Structure 1
Amino acid sequence: MKKSLSATLMLLVASVGTHANSQPTATESFKQQLSLAEQGNAEAQYTVATMYSRSQGTPLDNKQAAHWFQQAAEQGHSQAQFNLGISHTLGRGVAKDDQLAMQWLQQAAKQDNANAQFHLGNMYQNGRGMTADISQAMALYRQAAELGHAEAQLNYGFMFANGQGVTKDDKQAVHWFTQASEQGYADAQNNLSIMYALGRGVEADDKLAYMWANLSHYNGGTGDELTEMLSHKMKASDRRQAIEMSSVCLKQQYKGCDKLSESR
């Protein structure tokens, strides 16, 4: 027996409606996770803390967020340890305490949490909560940089560029600026542009310098200042090529863009 078109459509609508209603609301998800958290599930405790901190399915409550971050952190949850450390640096839901912040960030850093390694490195570099220790900052930045943390890659490269806590090495600076630039990090793209403009660590190349400065500006950085400076010394044809290179580099998701100048 053939079904009428209207009957088929009614079944389809009913099917879609049932599927949609099967998805829990944010409030229901929060209650489910809270139940698991109260039973000692570390991942649920972390999720509940995150939901409290973002007002997802429950009113914003930084004290409750910190409480559940700590519950998960005490069970070895690295991201909870990181978040609890940051909460202590900011005094968000807990007392502001750089010593406690360091303790929790160190716990997370030991588990290869790149965010914790970066923030801990920053604390060592700036002497926050302890005497400044550039060597320790370098070691932590390197760990995070090797795990792909763009800000750590930028800072690590910056220290090489300026000989801060390490022998000055422009090639290493360019390497790490490039790693961060390939992730679309505007500040690193700006620094890489400067290195190409000055011929530090690489052969001077105005087109690549313009390209990276242009991309930095595109990503919200200060590259527009560099493009304006470079435009005064570049031929109009070179400038057009550099703009074309920017478009190609963007399409390539910033990978292998140092080769673009060779093909033009």
Structure 2
Amino acid sequence: MKILPHEEVICDEQSMVIENLTKQYANNVVLDSLSLTINTGEIHGILGRNGVGKTTLIECAVGLKSFNQGSIKIRGLNILEDRDKIIKHVGIQPQEANLFPRLTIMETMELFSSFYGEILSYHNIVEMLDLDKIKNKRVNSLSTGQKQRLLVALSLIGNPSLIILDEPTTGIDPQIKQLIWQVLNKMKSQNKSILLSTHNMEEAEKICDRISILHDKKIILTGTPSEIINKYRKTKNDTLEDVFLLLTGTTLRGGMD
């Protein structure tokens, strides 16, 4: 641990620590005494069925939603006490975002860059995500894949040490998925931490250093994809998806799946 001049505490090994997090709406408990640790310089995937609370977990983690009990620390700072400091270190890609529809990609990047002190070059980010050829296209005319790349780009612009992505590759072409994976691995190589929620088992296996399975309001296990497969598989050919189904059930839930 070391103290920076403005008294921000930086944790060298742990980027985020969530302990005993509980979130409920009236009598409906969504997250129950959940604990999770994200290490510095890792890609960490959260797997879970629809409606299990992945987005709620992310929103609580960055202070967008209040929670009933527990603690959340990012870079050693408490989200309840130091949110203004924390937000400088975090980049977020939500499932949906209310962008200005008439702005172009480049105008949107310029606007968001004005929110931060230290930024990454938005010209480089646009090029990295292959948006440079359409940088003058308006937001309201973007395809799903183009808008998803823009949202990922916006999560990077503030030069965050922790990048949080909510299902970043859902509903997009394999080519765009591969491009986003490349960008995330590049960010990891710069010692940035990445937390992403996903339904894509291939994504979890290929790019995540560790994964956590969220089920029945808790993180039921954490480990590398290979550790989890080897521990819980029933046959030598079982995949991560097979293990996920074994642990979370195969029965369809009306109105959820």
TM-score > 0.5 by shorter chain: no
Larger RCO of the pair (alpha carbons < 8 Å, separation 6+): 2
State the TM-score, normalizing by the size of structure 2.
0.28
Greater per-residue helix proportion: 1
Greater per-residue strand proportion: 2
State the TM-score, normalizing by the size of structure 1.
0.27
